[in-house]
């Protein structure tokens, strides 16, 4: 009986549980366990019967156990088997749960590192793109007006300070981002003549809202870069929904195609990729282009802290 009980316990613990129960083949597991129980019952029955017959003829002085004693012995063996199976199942389930948690932890850590690397790559693309445009602006302005060029350099220094120290943060106050955009607009106004019009409207009550740094800036920068006569910017907040619209008039040429050129539109491309990483399923970016007017509408769900 001990040998049969050991075999049944080993069969359930190391064959049936991992191959069927842990793979959600519950009915197959129950069927095989029941089959193993019936099979070992028959083995125990015939073994006990043979031992009793042998003892009755060869050892007549031996006290033969009655049927109730044999049933108690069999029941005790199967109780031990059941207990061993339950203990093994609990221990194995706990071990597998720890392994699953560890794998999930490693997966989340890998995703976090990948996301962080992707964000640094995208932000790294924004910085040289911005500098390339502004240095070209300053080059033209130095020839035109040296005093204004010095003022522009100071403003550019303020912008770079924001990009270096705020751009590395996960989020900044929305008010800081708007101040940055206003400084950039002031810098752009120095570059253009008085006929170039700029409108920037935004709500005054923006305290408590956070936003990833330099997320809105590429849309604003592209609007200025490709504008022929002026730029309209409108930022609004409603029920934790941030809405930004940039609108600019431009003249399409073969050398200045906003989206078809490899260099043009890089800011819009980076912004779209950052939005996909930072606000999955919580943003909407739409573009309207009729050949003369280019409009970008961005909607993001923010949280008020």
| Contact between residue 231 and residue 238 where contact means Cβ atoms under 8 Å apart | no
**Phi, psi angles (nearest 5°) of residue 41:** -60, -45
Assign 254 a pLDDT band (cuts: 50, 70, 90): very low
Q: Is the pLDDT of residue 125 over 70?
A: no
CATH fold of 116-301 reads Heat Shock Protein 90 (3.30.565)
CATH 3.30.565.10 in the chain: give the residue spans: 116-301
Q: Answer yes or no: are the C-beta atoms of 246 and 223 closer than 8 Å.
A: yes
Least confident of 46-55, 135-144, 168-177: 135-144
Q: What is the pLDDT of residue 5?
A: 86
> What are 221-239's pLDDT values in tens digits?
888 877 878 899 999 988 8
pLDDT at 263 over 80: no
Give the pLDDT score at 114. 62
Lowest-confidence region among 162-166, 171-175, 286-290: 162-166
What's the average model confidence in pLDDT over 53-76? Answer: 75
pLDDT score at 169: 78
Average pLDDT in the 153-166 region? 79
| 50-60 per-position pLDDT tens digit | 887 877 777 77
The tens digit of pLDDT for each residue in 75-105 reads 888 888 889 889 988 988 888 888 888 888 8
Residues 6+ apart with CB under 8 A from 184: 159, 217, 220, 221
> Which residue from 290, 292, 274 is spatially nearest to 282, judged by alpha carbons?
274
The dihedrals phi and psi of 230, each to the nearest 5 degrees, come to: 170, 170
Share of the chain above pLDDT 70, in %: 83
| pLDDT above 90: residue 123 | no
Q: Backbone dihedral region of 132: left (phi > 0), alpha (psi from -120 to 50 degrees) or beta?
A: alpha
Whole-number mean pLDDT of the chain? Answer: 80
* High-pLDDT (> 90) share of the chain, %: 10
Q: What digits encode the pLDDT tens for the residues 264-295?
A: 456 677 788 888 888 888 899 998 888 788 89
Q: What is the mean predicted confidence (pLDDT) over 42-67?
A: 77
Q: Which of 93, 89, 96 has its CA nearest to residue 16?
A: 89
Q: Is 280 exposed, middle or buried (0-12, 13-18, 19+ CB in 10 A)?
A: exposed
User: Which two three-digit tokens encode residue 58?
Assistant: 């060869």
Mean pLDDT of the 14-41 span: 87
Residue scoring higher pLDDT (61 or 3): 3
Q: How many CB atoms lie within 10 A of CB 248?
A: 22
- Range with the lowest mean pLDDT among 20-24, 25-29, 145-149, 186-190? 145-149
Q: What are phi and psi of 128, to 5 degrees?
A: -65, -30
pLDDT value of residue 262: 42
Where is pLDDT greater, at 146 or 197? 197
The verdict on pTM exceeding 0.75 is: no
Across the beta sheet with 241-249, what order do the strands follow?
197-201, 230-238, 241-249, 293-301, 283-289
pLDDT at 139 over 80: no
Residue 163, pLDDT score = 78
């Amino acid at each position: 009986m001990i040998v049969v009980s050991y075999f049944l316990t080993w069969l359930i613990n190391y064959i049936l549980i991992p191959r069927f129960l842990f793979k959600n083949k519950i009915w197959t597991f129950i069927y095989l366990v029941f089959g193993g129980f019936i099979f070992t019952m028959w083995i125990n029955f015939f073994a006990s019967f043979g031992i009793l017959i042998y003892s009755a003829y060869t050892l007549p002085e031996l006290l033969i156990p009655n049927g109730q004693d044999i049933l108690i012995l069999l029941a005790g063996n199967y109780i031990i088997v059941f207990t061993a199976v339950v203990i093994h199942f609990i221990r194995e389930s706990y071990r597998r749960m720890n392994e699953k948690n560890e794998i999930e932890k490693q997966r989340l850590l890998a995703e976090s590192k990948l996301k962080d690397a992707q964000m640094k790559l995208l932000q790294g693309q924004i910085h040289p793109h911005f500098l390339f445009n502004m240095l070209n602006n300053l080059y033209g302005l130095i020839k035109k007006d040296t005093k204004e060029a010095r003022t522009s350099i100071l403003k550019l220094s303020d912008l770079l300070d924001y990009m270096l120290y705020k751009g590395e943060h996960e989020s900044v106050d929305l008010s800081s981002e708007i101040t940055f955009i206003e400084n950039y607009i002031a810098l752009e106004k120095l570059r253009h003549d008085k006929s170039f019009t700029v409108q920037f409207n935004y709500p005054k009550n923006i305290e408590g809202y956070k936003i990833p740094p330099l997320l809105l800036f590429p849309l604003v920068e592209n609007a200025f870069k490709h504008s022929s006569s002026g730029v309209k910017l409108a930022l609004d907040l409603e029920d934790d929904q941030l809405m930004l619209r940039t609108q600019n008039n431009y003249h399409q040429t073969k050398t200045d195609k906003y989206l078809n050129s490899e260099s043009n539109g890089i800011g819009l491309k980076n912004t779209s990729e950052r939005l996909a990483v930072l606000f999955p399923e919580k943003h909407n970016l739409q573009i309207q282009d009729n050949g003369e007017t280019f409009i970008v509408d961005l909607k993001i769900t923010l949280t008020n802290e």
